[in-house]
Amino acid sequence: MSKPDNEEPAEEDVYAACTSAPLSSYKLHHAASVRDVSSYWSKLATAKLEWFSPFPSGSALTGALEDGSASWFSGGRLNVCHNAVDRYCSSPYDRGNETAILWEGDEPTSVVRVTYDELRKEVCRVANALVRCGVRRGDVVTLYMPMVPELAMTMLACARIGAVHSVIFAGFSADAIADRIHDAGSMWVVTASAGSRGGRSLPLKSICDAAIGKERCAGIVKKVLVFDGRGEGGDAWEGIEGVHVRFTPLVASMRPACPCEWMDAEDPLFILYTSGSTGKPKGQSGRPERGGVCDRDETTLARIGRRRYALFAMVTTANSFGLAQQTGPSDPNAPHKDVYACVADAGWITGHTYIVYGPLLNGLSTLMFESTPVYPDCGRYWDMVQRHKITVFYTAPTAIRSLMRFGDDPPKRYDLSSLRVLGTVGEPINPAAWKWYYDVIGNGRCSVVDTYWQTETGGHVITNLPGITPMKPGSCTLPCYGIDLAVLDATTGKEITSSPAEGVLAIRQPWPGMARTCLGDHQRYLAVYMKPYPGYYFTGDGCRRDSDGYIWITGRVDDVLNVSGHRIGTAEVESALVAHEAVAQAAVVGIPHEIKGQGICCYATLVEGYPETDILIKELFLQVRTHIGPFATPDMIIINGALPMTRSGKIMRRILRKIASSELDTIGDTSTLSDPLVVDELILKVAKFQ
Ligand code: WTA
């Protein structure tokens, strides 16, 4: 992780939350919520969502965590799009004229407001156009789109007609898209001719075309539906007759009304790919044809989100950002007080839950941001806060750390007084970045919510609550309502009930946001999450719990890296490298990185006869970018004649990690290695690289 400054702060570093409600009320409420999770979530499901037919009373939760059969509200039928859009257009909410989506394009001057009424009509048009093209209930629709309102509209249109969306982050390469289309058997792909980011054009349609041109997609994709880009000349693109559909004019020609499909709460809503651990002991899946070059499988797994996830998205958005008292169905006539901005990308779970579903399910106005924090300059976020009077601002520690480098002056040029809550997500935040966010951005007035969660959890599972939980910089604090957290001894699997404690983080009872399976591989799902510690959902994260019960995430304990808040499996990068003909063996480890939290260090050995040249190294960097995407670009690639292996032939990643991080004094015993001299060779090479 970023620095060893994730340490418990001194007493004076405990910050009071910015409004006052006693922590004891949280504790009582939380204890009650986990005493009977079924009844807790069932009451909320009835109160917060509109159902076409209710789930049978008394059986909100059935099945068990152990075998992955836990299901929520099964038998109840609802439509997520109806709950997120339609209901706010009519009585008792009557928010049809209020802003649903506030789009800020790449250029600060390109701002578009979409009201709830307009959103309903547009979503219906997109839904009708999808149906016209042949999409049916249960079909998987792949979305490879820029951060434009059409992306949210298409997600909601899928939800409306019972299709399953699979959004692929626009930074992924053609190879990665092809894998995902193939895995999901997705017959439909929605893209845009181009997007823009940081003043540069993103050729999304061409990347999609390259993906569907790959052999593994042949015969799968029926149609590519192409929105015109929002910039000038966005409609100037060529397509293949019968494959590409000009989607913008087709959508415009559709009727602005489309009935909702009423879906079971357990029907899939979306597929989202993310890196995971292999779930099998390392070294068991050799690739014999290359002499065991990569000793693990690729680890990208598709998690399936169910329709009942809507409840979790809605409730956690309201609680974690302190909306509960301000808006929402409990007080339908309360005026909107919040302008909510999550500046993530909708291609990740943060965008799904906290840009699209969570805010809209609460009837909020949500910002969609197409650009980067430094375009046209490093004041972009703060300029947006001032212009739109943003009240809730949610970003990642990496962004905060990178903006901190520019000093306090850029934010001080803007009026940030509208801010009420500042959120962070995706990785541990180091106390120095936390304090900068709190002092310079929040002017010491705002709650900083450090939200811990995962793609698999669907929404926040640990966070402080604004105005309620006293904050400690660097700690995500206490579990959310309805989340029954446990800290387990990593070796024995026994629960540690006393505090302080150190162990791995687990969850004891199901919750409605949880993913139920991995696409096409339920056994893998069980192996990764349910089997490591029977009776618990295993997060893959290590943690400490301090004497106040506060949780401090210490980072992944499996083979997953967290680079700028993006999850990247070390095995994915290794597979990309060994796919190059010159690479015989690859091993990838994480290294501390000041801005990104973690960086990627790759070690490789070459096939006989391939010399180590600068050109080859450049090719290997490119290899990872094209196989996965630019966000996975390695920080170092070290080539050597051999890697440290045990005598039984297992690569010693622990030692590689120490060498890469220059933690040479804790390398430990190397005498069991088949060739201990390799360690000295690697130490020299890493030192040269740095
Ligand atoms: C890490 C992102 C510390 C953690 C929402 C987790 C965090 C992984 C935090 C999930 C946080 C996320 N503090 N670590 N507040 N939030 N993580 O699936 O290691 O992309 O397991 O979901 O990010 O990453 P994912």
Q: Is the pLDDT reported for residue 182 higher than 70?
A: yes
pLDDT category, 14, cuts 50, 70, 90?
confident
Question: If you take atom 6 of ligand 1, which residue's CA is the nearest one?
Answer: 454
- Quick check: helix, strand or coil at residue 98? coil
Lowest mean pLDDT among 253-267, 321-335, 593-607: 321-335
What is the whole-number distance in angstroms between the Cα of residue 297 and the centre of ligand 1?
22
| 244 CA → ligand 1 middle, Å | 37
- 185-204 mean pLDDT: 96
- Asked if residue 303 has its Cβ within 6 Å of ligand 1, the reply is no
SS3 7: coil
Cβ(128)–Cβ(77) under 8 Å? no
**Mean pLDDT, the chain, integer:** 90
pLDDT class of 331 with cuts at 50, 70, 90 = low
**Residue 575 — pLDDT band, cuts 50, 70, 90?**
confident
233-284 tens-digit pLDDT = 889 999 999 999 999 999 999 999 999 999 999 999 999 988 766 543 222 2
- Using DSSP bridges, classify how beta strands 421-425 and 263-264 pair: parallel, antiparallel or unpaired: unpaired
Pocket test for ligand 1, best of 301, 452, 558, 572 (most atoms within 8 A of CB): 452
HEC assignment per residue over 424-466: EECCCCCHHHHHHHHHHHCCCCCEEEEEECCHHHCCCCECCCC
Testing ligand 1's pocket by substitution, the residue of 537, 553, 558, 561 carrying the most ligand atoms inside 8 A of its CB is 553
- pLDDT score of 653: 86
**Is the pLDDT assigned to residue 225 strictly greater than 90?**
yes
pLDDT classification of 296: cutoffs 50, 70, 90: very low
Check residue 20 and give its pLDDT.
62
Euclidean distance between CA atoms 368 and 149, whole angstroms: 7
Cβ of 427 below 6 Å from ligand 1: yes
* Low-confidence winner among 209-213, 279-283, 485-489, 577-581 (lowest mean pLDDT): 279-283
The yes-or-no verdict on residue 436 having pLDDT over 80 is yes
Encode 219-237: b = buried (16+ Cβ within 10 Å), e = exposed.
Answer: eebebbbbbbbbbeebeeb
- Is there an atom of ligand 1 within 6 Å of 455 CB? yes
Q: Which is the closest atom of ligand 1 to the Cα of 555? A: 19
Residue 458: CB within 6 Å of ligand 1?
A: no
First to last CA, the chain: 18
Q: What is the DSSP string of 138-207?
A: T-EEEEE--SSHHHHHHHHHHHHHT-EEEE--TTS-HHHHHHHHHHHT--EEEEES-EEETTEEE-HHHH
Residue 469: pLDDT band by 50, 70, 90 thresholds?
very high
Q: What is the mean pLDDT of residues 521-548?
A: 93
For residue 18, name the pLDDT band (cuts at 50, 70, 90): low
In this predicted structure, the answer to whether residue 8 has a pLDDT above a threshold of 70 is: no
pLDDT at 298 over 70: no
**Contact by Cβ (8 Å): 47, 65:** no
Average pLDDT over residues 329-346: 76
Question: How does strand 164-167 pair with strand 140-144?
Answer: parallel
**Among the ranges given (9-18, 24-33, 106-115, 310-319), the one the predictor scored with the smallest mean pLDDT:** 9-18
- Name the token pair of 159: 């939800």
Q: What is the pLDDT of residue 335?
A: 53
In this predicted structure, the answer to whether residue 1 has a pLDDT above a threshold of 90 is: no
SS3 call for 15? strand
553 lines ligand 1 (CB under 6 A): yes
Burial of 82 (0-12, 13-18, 19+ CB in 10 A): buried
Q: What angle do CA 319, 507, 491 make, to 5 degrees?
A: 145
Please tell me the least confidently modeled range out of 230-234, 353-357, 680-684.
230-234
Mean pLDDT of 525-534: 93
- Taking the C-alpha atoms of residue 673 and residue 409, their distance in angstroms, rounded to an integer, is 53
Q: Tell me what ipTM this predicted complex has.
A: 1.00
pLDDT band at 597 (very low <50, low <70, confident <90, very high): very high
pLDDT tier at 288, thresholds 50, 70, 90: very low
pLDDT at 286 over 80: no
- Ligand 1, atom 8, lies closest to the CA of 454
What distance in angstroms lies between residue 388's CA and the mean position of ligand 1's atoms?
28
Q: What average pLDDT does range 285-314 have in this prediction?
A: 61
State whether the beta carbon of 426 lies less than 6 angstroms from ligand 1: yes
* Structure token digits, residue 530: 């349910």
Pocket test for ligand 1, best of 345, 448, 567, 572 (most atoms within 8 A of CB): 567
